[in-house]
Every structure is written in C-alpha cells, then in structure tokens.
Structure 1
Amino acid sequence: MKHNLIEEFHLDQVKFVNFLRTIESGHSDNPYHNATHVADVVQSMHCLLVKGGVGKFVGKLEILAGLLASCIHDFEHRGFNNDFLVKTQDDWAIDSNDKSPNESHHLSSSFRILRQPECNFLHQMPQAQQAHLRKLVIDMVMATDMGEHMAIVSKLKSDLQKRLENPDDDIGSDPPDALKTLILQGAIKVADIGHLYADHEVHIQWSERLEEEMWRQGDVEKQREMKAERADQERWISFLMDREKPGVTKSQPGFVDFVVRPLFDTWCACFPESKVLLERIDRNYEYWKSKEKEHHDNKA
C-alpha cells in the first residue's frame, strides 16, 4: 500500500484480506449504495489524502482511520434512508434509538466482523491505539448522515477555515486531535458524494442510480400505505421518491446550490489542492441547469 500502513502498524495481511472480503460480500446489490460506490469512496479518500491537501494535516493513524471508515461506511445498506427506518420502527432504528440508524448499523456490524479472530487484522496494535482508531472511524461514519451535513459544514467554516485564514494561527503539521477529526469528517463527506465531480457520463449514470434507489423506497412506501404525520393523515411518499413524479435528477441544481456548494466552497477554501473537484461539479451543474431550462421552455 502507498501509505505503508501494514508495516507501520504491523497489520496482519491475511486477516486484513479476510476482513475486506467479508465487508465486500456484505454490500447489497442496490442501484446506488453498493460495493462499487464504496470502492469509489475509498479511492476518493485516498486521493484527498495524497493529492487533495488532507495528508499534510494528519498522521498515519488518521490515514488508516480514513481508509477503514470509507470501506465500512455503507456496510449492509438496504437502500432505505434514515427517515424511513425511523418511521417504520425498523430494528436498526430501535437498536440505535433513532439516532442515525443506517450509520450506526454500518459501524456496529463492521466492528463485530473485526472482532472475529480470522478478520481481526489489528490484533497486534496496542489497545490504546485501537481505541483511538475506533473513535476516529465512528466519528467519520456518523458524519456521513446527511442529517449532520449543515452542522459539519458550519464547523468546517468556524473551526478550520477561519484558523487557516488567520496568519497568526498556524496549526502546523500536527493540529489538535479535534481538528484532525473534523478534517477527516469533511473528507469522507466529500468522498461520499464523489459522483458529483466524476466525469460527466459517470455522474449522469450514478445520479440515475440514486434516483432509482429512491424510487424503490417510494414503491415500498406505497405498498406499506405509510401515513404522514399531519393532521389530515394523508397517505404519503417521501420527497423525490414517487416514480410517477420528477425525481432526484430533476432537482440536481437545487441540491448543488443548497447542499453541495456550501460544503465544497468551504472545503476548497481550506484545501486549495481540491479546487479541481469544484470545477468538475460546476461543469456537471451546467448540464443540469440546461436540462432545467429545456424543461421550462417546453412547458412554456
């Protein structure tokens, strides 16, 4: 490995392979949340560490945490969002007390596999180091819950961007642990929506995959005749999940404007090496804007 993590932490290579194979086999054949998506997130995390400016602020243990969190961040994902799991009182929601049921399950199930003797590639690592690694991974995977999105963007602005822009506040090559954690949380969020800065055709394909997965949840909601928590108690299908109405591919400009751009504007202000990602997002954004204009022109 380019990061020399196996040598650095005396990782058991056979058990490491067993762990990765078990994790890979635990990914469902969802249109979007599948093993290919996870591999893309791992690759994006690697690029952010090596070329995106993140590597200069973190050490080897944080690099291991970043790659490990990327590997497990969607383990056993079933294609339903957290809101659905909570509303249906799914076992994952019950187990997590409604707190990020997807992310909580990805973590707990992955760490159970890591406890298996044949998969515990960390068994030679000191316990204190293992505990710190576990905390980092938990903090990162929990950050992939989109419900935490704006809070993390806000923290990136207040705790990282302002410090980096202040010439008197040199955080150097060894920032505090809390800041390292925040950087890693931002990195996995950037990696997790990597299709937005992929080549145009790839971006279109994965946008359509996400749309189909969301529509499938809407199909299940129809079958369950789920009720809205409103006074009139009308039947409902979650926003953008009714395949009889426009889906996520029709809402991309708004998603970029209000969700994606605040994250990437802040991220690229902190890590100028990553500006190419924002340029690619802008190119894909222009495509969706043109499609939106075509739709309005045709209606007119």
Structure 2
Amino acid sequence: MDDGSGCRPCSVLCMPIQSSHNEMVGVIQLVDKLDGQTFNETDEKILEAFAIFAGIGIRNTKIFENTVKVIAKRQVALEVLSYHTSVSTAEVRKIQSFEIPPAQSYQLLDYGFSDFVLNDDDTIKACIRMFVDLQLLERFHINYEVFCRWILTVKKNYRNVTYHNWRHAFNVAQTMYCVLLRGHMKTMLSDLEVLALLVGCLCHDLDHRGTNNQFQIKTMSPLAQLYSMSTMEHHHFDQCMMILNTTGNNILSELSQTEYRQILHLLEHAILATDLSIYFKYRTSFFKVIEAENVDWNQVENKELLRGMMMTVCDIAAISKPWEIQKEVAHLLASEFFEQGDLEKTVLNVEPVDMLNRDKKDQLPSMQLGFIDSICMPVYKAFAKLNQELIPLLEGCQQNRDRWAMLAATNQLQASEGGKNGMKIEEDDGRKKCIDHSTESTQVPAGR
C-alpha cells in the first residue's frame, strides 16, 4: 500500500468487479475517506452497487470490442475474396505435366542465386524441386496434385506490389533451402520443422499490400483493428491457414493429429518471426546462446530462437547477394517505401520518415549502411560463428556494405562540394533506372 511517498493509509475498502457470469473482471480499491473516518457498512453497500454498474460497463465494452473485430474480419475477408481468384484445374494439370529440372539448372544451392532470369513457371518448378530434394513430399505423404494446386494458390495470393510479392517469397524460400542443405542446418532440425520453415518462407508475406505495420495502425485499417502487434504478420499467417483450409489445398492432410497441432504452432512462429520487432526482441538472447559453450539445440527455447533467426536470415538475404543483384533489389524496396511515403503525404497529410520519403532518395546509400549495421551484420556474424558453411552470407553482406559505404562517402563529398549525389533513382519511359555515378554505370532492373 505504501507508494513510496511516506504516507501510510489508515483505511482501505477493496471489492471485486464481477461480470454477469460471476467472473472477476476487475477490482475497485478506495483508500482513506476525505473526512478521515474509517470505511463502514454503508460505504460497502454503495461500493457494491457501483461494482455491479462497473461490471455491466466492462461487459458492454468487451461486447463492443468483439463486434468491432467481427466487422473488421468481415471487411478483410471480403477484400481478400474480391482480389484473389481460385486456381483452375487446367493450371494444376499444366504444373503436373512439367518435368522438374535438377537444382543445378537453377543454381538453387548458390548463395548468390538470382531469380531475374526465371519466368513464373520456372519459379514453380524450382519450388517443387526444393520440396522434392528435402524429401518433404515423400516424408509427409503429400499428394502431388494437391501440392501443385497449393503452390499455385500461394502464388496467386501475392499482390502485384513492387517488392513484397511472390518473387520475394520465392527468394526467401530459396535461401532457406540453401541454408538447410548447403549450410547443413537441416541436421539440427526435425523433418516437421524443415517443412514448417519452407512453407513459412513461401507464405510469410501473403497478401502484402506494399505498406508496413505502422501504416496500418496510422490509417486505422481493419487489419490494425484485428491485431495491434505484428499486424501484417498475423494477417500473412491467417492467409496461410485460409489456403490450407481451402478444398484441394491442404498439403498437411496426411499428418497425424499431434503433428498437425505441432506444425500449426511452428508455422505461426516462423511467419511472426519475420516481424523485425520480434527479431530485435529476441536477438540478444540468441547471441548469448551462440556465445555459450556446449549449447543444447534440442532445448525448446534454443530451438525456437534458432528457427526464428533463420527466418530473419533468409528474409533479408538480398543484402548478401552479388552487388548488381543487391543494388537492384535495394532500389525495388526503396521504390515500395517511397510509394508508402507518397500515400502518407496524400492520405494522412504527414511528412514521412526519411526511409519512406521520396525527397530523401539520394540518401539511400547511408540508409542501407544503417540497415546493414543495425540488423544484418549482427545476425550474419552469429550464424557464421554457429556454422562456417554460412560464412558466404556474412562475406556477401560485408562486400555490399563496403560498396554502399563508398557510395555514401561519394555522396557526402559531392554534397559538400555542391555537386550531385552519387546514386539516385530516375524515371525513363516508366522504368526505374538505377544510376551509379561513382562507377559511371547504368543498370535498368529486369522485369519482376
């Protein structure tokens, strides 16, 4: 009762607030009467009447909140249904007829893999190859027709946004495949965990709208009314489950009840782990585990940390790609950010942060440095220490950091001299053109 002020209460009256179902939903506490007298039976009866009134109020508030959520869910469902289409039988049969090339044909086991030269059919074939090579279809008795329909449905549930689209999800899955096989991380995981991670990678940005969680909250979107934390990530998981529960798409139908419950937990954990706020929350604990000796990776907490950090490693893997790929992807992501910034200016009438501000596009190199130093390098260093087979990711990240640092320095020098910045995004006949003045080269991003 002592709040640290030195004042000691002389009289206290405390009473529970109960709902109509006799559930305690709160507590009322009165301390010291103004006239200095102690609380009496009359006070108790008055407070009891107020507690009943408060209980009704709290109940009505909860009913209202639930109603708002139901309405928001309906709005989201209608929005999704109006946007997405179902997969036809002809499309499924076309995929079933494909001959699936070996991993070497697509360089799927290369950390420097690029999807720029692949068409959409190639990406589907490559996905099938990943699941086949990891023996997931055989291990979990996944029907091939159902699997083909599921992949096509997942692909169709990605919107045609600039960066967070099907191609991004495909690249994240490829990195996970590479980490599991070439990086030998598969030996540290169960088959069920491997399945959850690969499915999670393909589904981790389902129905992304090209705007981040903060935008959903600022605009008070239906999604933000459903989820106040990890808003988009919860929606991605919901979409993943919606697809799995759609007729002809349940690739998990042959799992036992125990395995099914486990993989739902693993899938949710994997997709939510792609929220960078979750990464920042748990990375210190992960780094401590990495530094420890004789780590038991079968311990539940350690394994969850490992899977979550693996999702982050794969989600940001574009930062470790060869420079020409990294530069192009960075501009695609920046373009999507600027599109959100434009919306914030017009819809919210606010000035966006530098990262989203098109007027600050010349600061891209310095912003990339901040992203690498605060997010990428720490986690890649940790995984390089965990497994030397993952060192190429760290090396690629470091090489790109050096290039961005050079461009940032060039920009700063030219700015101080009153010259033009070293890298900027220009428009040429509707195409985004990346111009790197420091090397006098021009790169036009391939269609994605």
| Global fold match (TM > 0.5) | yes
1:231-250 mapped onto 2 (5 Å cutoff) = 235-246=350-361, 248-250=364-366
- Deviation at 1:178? 3.0
Letter in 2 for 1:73: H
Q: Which runs of 5+ in 1 are unaligned?
A: 227-234
TM-score with structure 2 length normalisation?
0.61
Letter in 1 for 2:290: Q
- Deviation at 1:170? 5.3
Q: Corresponding residue for 1:124?
A: 254
SS at the partner of 1:240?
A: helix
For 2:138 and 2:203, how far apart are their aligned partners in 1? 22
1:22-33 mapped onto 2 (5 Å cutoff) = 22-33=153-164
Quick one: structure 1 residues 119 and 69, their matched pair in 2 at CA, closer, same or farther if it must change by over 3 Å? same
- 2:340 aligned with 1:217, yes or no? yes
Quick one: structure 1 residues 258 and 42, their matched pair in 2 at CA, closer, same or farther if it must change by over 3 Å? same
- Deviation at 1:33? 0.5
Q: Corresponding residue for 1:66?
A: 197
Identity within the alignment, %? 25
Letter in 2 for 1:26: N
Alpha-carbon contact 2:366-2:405 (below 8 Å) kept: no
For 1:123 and 1:177, how far apart are their aligned partners in 2? 26
Letter in 2 for 1:45: M
SS at the partner of 2:354?
A: coil
- 2:258 aligned with 1:142, yes or no? no
Alpha-carbon contact 1:207-1:249 (below 8 Å) kept: no
Letter in 1 for 2:336: E
- 2:168 aligned with 1:37, yes or no? yes
Per-residue CA deviations over 1:54-76 (Å, capped at 9, x if unaligned) read: 21210111110110100100001
Per-residue CA deviations over 1:246-269 (Å, capped at 9, x if unaligned) read: 354441112111221111112211
Alpha-carbon contact 2:274-2:312 (below 8 Å) kept: yes
Q: Corresponding residue for 1:112?
A: 242
TM-score with structure 1 length normalisation?
0.91
Letter in 2 for 1:161: I
For 1:118 and 1:178, how far apart are their aligned partners in 2? 35
Alpha-carbon contact 2:210-2:340 (below 8 Å) kept: yes
Taking CA–CA contacts closer than 8 Å with sequence separation of 6 or more, which of the two structures ends up with the larger relative contact order? 1
Q: Corresponding residue for 2:370?
A: 254
- Deviation at 1:36? 0.8
SS at the partner of 2:352?
A: coil
Of 134, 138, 149, which aligns to 1:3? 134
SS at the partner of 1:284?
A: helix
Q: Corresponding residue for 1:229?
A: none
Q: Corresponding residue for 2:390?
A: 274
Letter in 2 for 1:245: K
Of 51, 57, 70, which aligns to 2:188? 57
C-alpha RMSD of matched pairs (Å): 1.4
Between Structure 1 and Structure 2, the one with more helix by share is 1
Between Structure 1 and Structure 2, the one with more strand by share is 2
For 1:14 and 1:178, how far apart are their aligned partners in 2? 36
SS at the partner of 1:201?
A: helix
Aligned length: 284
- Deviation at 1:239? 3.4
Choose 1 or 2 for highest CA Rg: 2
Alpha-carbon contact 2:354-2:360 (below 8 Å) kept: no
Shift >6 Å, 4+ stretches: none
Q: Which runs of 5+ in 2 are unaligned?
A: 1-131, 417-448
- 2:290 aligned with 1:155, yes or no? no
